[in-house]
Structure 1
Amino acid sequence: MSKRTRPRAGLTTLAALTALATAACGTTHEPNDEAPTPRTRPTTSHHPAPGPPSPSAADGTDIGACADADCEITVTKPVTLHFPGPGGSGRATLSVTEVGPNKIEYEVKSGNNRSKGGATGPDQGCLTYLRAHGSGNSCGPLDATRPSPQPGAVVIQATTSANGTALLHIVSP
Structure 2
Amino acid sequence: MPNRGWPLALTALTTLTLTACNSSAEPTATPPASTPSPSPSPSLSPSDGDDDVAACTDGDCEITVTKPVTIRLEGPDGRPTTLSVTEVGPNEIEYEVKSGNGRSKGGASGNGQGCLTVLRANGSGNSCGPLTDTRPATQQDAVVIQATTSADGTATLHVVSP
Specify which of 67, 75, 80 is matched with residue 70 of structure 2: 80
Specify which of 85, 93, 104 is matched with residue 93 of structure 2: 104
Equivalent residue, structure 2, for 1:134: 123
Measured in 2, the distance between the counterparts of 1:105 and 1:55 equals: 24
Mark the runs of 5 or more structure 2 residues left unpaired by the alignment: 1-35
Look up the equivalent residue of 1:125 and give its one-letter code: G
Distance 1:54 1:134, change over 3 A: farther
* Aligned pairs for 1:29-108 within 5 A: 58=44, 59=48, 60-88=50-78, 90-108=79-97
With the length of structure 2 as denominator, give the TM-score of the two structures. Answer: 0.71
Equivalent residue, structure 1, for 2:103: 114
Look up the equivalent residue of 1:133 and give its one-letter code: N
- State the percentage of identical aligned residues: 73
Look up the equivalent residue of 2:61 and give its one-letter code: C
With the length of structure 1 as denominator, give the TM-score of the two structures. Answer: 0.67
Alignment: residue pair count: 121
What is the SS of the residue equivalent to 2:57?
helix
Measured in 2, the distance between the counterparts of 1:66 and 1:96 equals: 13
Measured in 1, the distance between the counterparts of 2:142 and 2:57 equals: 16
Measured in 2, the distance between the counterparts of 1:123 and 1:54 equals: 18
Equivalent residue, structure 1, for 2:7: none
Measured in 1, the distance between the counterparts of 2:154 and 2:39 equals: 10
Equivalent residue, structure 1, for 2:151: 162
Offset at residue 87 of structure 1 (A): 1.9
What is the SS of the residue equivalent to 1:157?
strand
Look up the equivalent residue of 1:116 and give its one-letter code: K
Measured in 1, the distance between the counterparts of 2:57 and 2:108 equals: 24
What is the SS of the residue equivalent to 1:122?
coil
Distance 1:69 1:153, change over 3 A: same
The structure number with the bigger radius of gyration is: 1
Specify which of 120, 140, 146 is matched with residue 151 of structure 1: 140
Offset at residue 145 of structure 1 (A): 0.2
Are 1:54 and 1:163, in contact at CA under 8 Å, matched by a contact in 2? no
Mark the runs of 5 or more structure 1 residues left unpaired by the alignment: 1-52
Measured in 1, the distance between the counterparts of 2:90 and 2:39 equals: 16
